[in-house]
Structure 1
Amino acid sequence: MQIVLEYLEILLKGRCLLGFSGGGDSVALFFLLKKEGVNFDIAILDHGLRAQSQEEIAYAKHLAEKYSKRVHIGQVHLSGSNLEARYRKERYSFFERIIQEFNYTHLILAHHLNDKLEWFFMQLAKGSSLQTLLGFSALEKRVGYDLIRPLIYTQKRTLREYLHTNKYRYFEDETNFSPRFKRNIFRQCVSNPFLEGVFPGFNVARGLVRSFKALEKEKQELYPAINPVKVCGVWVFATHLQNLYYITSLLKNLGYVLSAKQRLELEKNRFNGVFVTAKQTYFVGLGGGLVYVGMAIKNDSRVLPKPYKQACRLLKIPPHLRPLFLNPHWEQNFKILKTLVCAQSN
């Protein structure tokens, strides 16, 4: 059985962290990476939602010890509503803390073709643009690391066959079958029947892979990579036809996900907005041909010096963003912003 790992050549050159759960997908990826000689460690987050979570932790420790891997274990206990989205956010935060502390270059996740199709149908039903419809990609550039999904074009059924053929132990997540979660309904009633169905004259899986790859290429042309510059902790880039896409991506990297309503409001307000959470305040602004995306622990109430305010006005920095740039080196930092403005005008 031949399973192709996307971006294997990049993984072989990096220092990787595998997001592990003990489920079939991450277990299959563990052994596939090991077989290919990828240098990786594993990280598992215990969210306490399943009775078997301690067994999964023990299994992660067992694999790490047996195959000389470092295992990073975290815990989070959530209650209330919107648990899936909140847990997903905690999981990524957990991974990113480890990546920063231990200098990993790549985060590897075990999303597969069924996951991608499930997401596609869910977003299609909501009403979404191309970049949202496609969702997660095989390779995503994040701040300080690359996120790679080597199995994104592999069917779940193929992974299960691989596990059973090699008699690898794994755990089944019972929450994947609960009708409480919308994704499960889409998976069971829409995406899996479509992917696994028999349609004379069609190889559905192969066709989907071709379509997704073609759409990814078009997405890259429509949303070309930009190189934002970080000034005083604020990401800055030249204004673009796809401002909303880049703002959304940068905010997501900072740990904040815009709702559909917030995206509409942001466009309505010409890409100026403030988003407050219990722990952080996130700022977005557009002025002088530059877009700004940043965050602060709390609102800054300092009085801005007159020369500083005048320099901000000349650069057309939006008022709600000005406190973020105030430090002893603000004049030097503003030279960087002037360079970006000049480059944008040329």
Structure 2
Amino acid sequence: MTNSLELLELERLQKGKNLLAFSGGVDSTALFFLLIEKNISFDIAIVNYKLRPQSDEEVAYAKELATRYNKRIFIKEVPLSPPSIEEKARKIRYRFFEEIIQKYGYENLLTAHQLNDQLEWFLMQLAKGAGVVEAIGLEPASQREGYVVVRPLLHTSKEEILRFLEKKDILYYIDNSNYDTSFVRNFIRKNFSDPLMQKFAPGIKRSMDYLLHDKKLLEPKIASIKKLFIAKNPHEKMQTQRAFLMMAKRAGYLPSTKQLAIMSEQKSGVIGGKIAFGQNERNLFVAPFMKQSIPKKMREAMRRKKIPPTIRGYIYSENLIDTLDRVLEKNLS
């Protein structure tokens, strides 16, 4: 085995302005040094949740690396407490990253997800009852509103990453909470994904590649104008829910199973008080929910176009009515 590891989306990384989500753990530390090795420009961001005494050491390590390699570093300190620590942490983390991205013009957010993470996600979704599109949740590059999430290590196993760090004698930290099997992900990791990866890593990697290809074929095509997302109406419950899930996620909201059922059954509505959805015979729509007083002439024009009522406020406020037909024709015809 070589001393280096494969980085996915290398051309994108070489051309874009990159922000690395750093923690000081095994994966993000390896990614940091691989990016240095490949002469890829990037800065780093780290969140200290104050959950462990060690977290201050990890931030200090991040600062040390930033100084040594002349990287800009962004730090956020947010003490967390139960319940729902994982969910809270994720929301805080991505809100912080997105604020940095918007303020400083980063194009790519780099995360250190790797092959073991991909298998863990697959098994978790399999246990819940999911199709291919939902089960293959991690991709090498995922478009978000205003930036791309890039996962350069997604085809690399944890074992390969650890060997890389040990070969290079690179310091990293271990989060002991990863061994707490009261968390579903850790339970899956210890009992299923880690043993499978130890025995069948090459085959699992090939399978994930095949499944990702199949996912691309099954995914609905989504057009967008600003924060208005549109897909063809498949007139089938599961496909409709899948399309609404993808559009809502791109709009920055993760709907529950119950909310997805409502979205697929109703012609128009609002979920979470934030996201408007609707459907007509041809299309599905998702947009930020906006209450607007719309002039009668414009209301009539939207009614003729069969735009769902809850979507109309956003279209009117952003003056999208004139470009809507063009986008539909170009992207969803």
TM-score by length of 1: 0.88
Residues 290 and 341 of structure 1 are in contact (CA less than 8 Å); yes or no, is this contact kept in structure 2? no
Q: Which region of structure 1 is more displaced relative to structure 2, 208-217 or 137-146?
A: 137-146
Structure 2 gap segments, 5+ residues each = none
Select the residue among 107, 115, 123 that pairs with 2:109. 107
User: Is 1:248–2:255 an aligned residue pair?
Assistant: no
TM-superposed CA distance for 1:341, in Å, is 5.2
2:169 corresponding residue in structure 1: 167
> Matches of 2:231 and 2:225 in 1, distance apart?
6
Q: Which region of structure 1 is more displaced relative to structure 2, 3-12 or 186-195?
A: 3-12
Corresponding letter in the other structure for 2:279: L
> Matches of 2:243 and 2:126 in 1, distance apart?
21
Write out per-residue CA displacement over residues 159-198 of structure 1, whole angstroms, 9 at most, x where no aligned residue: 111112211111110110112211111100111111113x
TM-superposed CA distance for 1:264, in Å, is 2.1
Structure 1 gap segments, 5+ residues each = 198-203
- Number of positions where the alignment pairs a residue of Structure 1 with one of Structure 2: 328
> Matches of 1:17 and 1:36 in 2, distance apart?
15
Question: What secondary structure sits across from 1:227 in the alignment?
Answer: strand
Corresponding letter in the other structure for 2:283: L
Write out per-residue CA displacement over residues 40-69 of structure 1, whole angstroms, 9 at most, x where no aligned residue: 111101122222111111111100000000
1:209-220 equivalences in 2 (<5 Å): 209-220=205-216
| Structure 1 residues 78 and 254: alpha-carbon distance in aligned structure 2, compared to 1, 3 A threshold | farther
Question: What secondary structure sits across from 2:161 in the alignment?
Answer: helix
| Structure 1 residues 3 and 342: alpha-carbon distance in aligned structure 2, compared to 1, 3 A threshold | closer
Identity of aligned residues (%): 37
Residues 223 and 331 of structure 2 are in contact (CA less than 8 Å); yes or no, is this contact kept in structure 1? no
TM-score by length of 2: 0.91
> Matches of 1:187 and 1:266 in 2, distance apart?
33
**Alignment RMSD (CA, Å):** 2.2
Q: Which region of structure 1 is more displaced relative to structure 2, 108-117 or 234-243?
A: 234-243
> Matches of 1:154 and 1:66 in 2, distance apart?
26
Corresponding letter in the other structure for 1:249: M
| Structure 1 residues 55 and 236: alpha-carbon distance in aligned structure 2, compared to 1, 3 A threshold | same
Residues 232 and 332 of structure 2 are in contact (CA less than 8 Å); yes or no, is this contact kept in structure 1? no
User: Is 1:289–2:276 an aligned residue pair?
Assistant: no
> Matches of 2:41 and 2:83 in 1, distance apart?
38
1:98-137 equivalences in 2 (<5 Å): 98-137=100-139
Write out per-residue CA displacement over residues 314-336 of structure 1, whole angstroms, 9 at most, x where no aligned residue: 12121222222334x74xx3222
| Structure 1 residues 266 and 131: alpha-carbon distance in aligned structure 2, compared to 1, 3 A threshold | same
1:309-320 equivalences in 2 (<5 Å): 309-320=299-310
1:338 corresponding residue in structure 2: 325
Residues 289 and 344 of structure 1 are in contact (CA less than 8 Å); yes or no, is this contact kept in structure 2? no
Question: What secondary structure sits across from 1:131 in the alignment?
Answer: helix
> Matches of 1:344 and 1:253 in 2, distance apart?
17
1:1-346 equivalences in 2 (<5 Å): 1-197=3-199, 204-223=200-219, 225-230=221-226, 233-239=227-233, 242-270=239-267, 272-276=268-272, 281-287=274-280, 289-296=282-289, 300=291, 302-327=292-317, 330=319, 333-340=320-327
TM-superposed CA distance for 1:39, in Å, is 0.6
| Structure 1 residues 59 and 341: alpha-carbon distance in aligned structure 2, compared to 1, 3 A threshold | closer
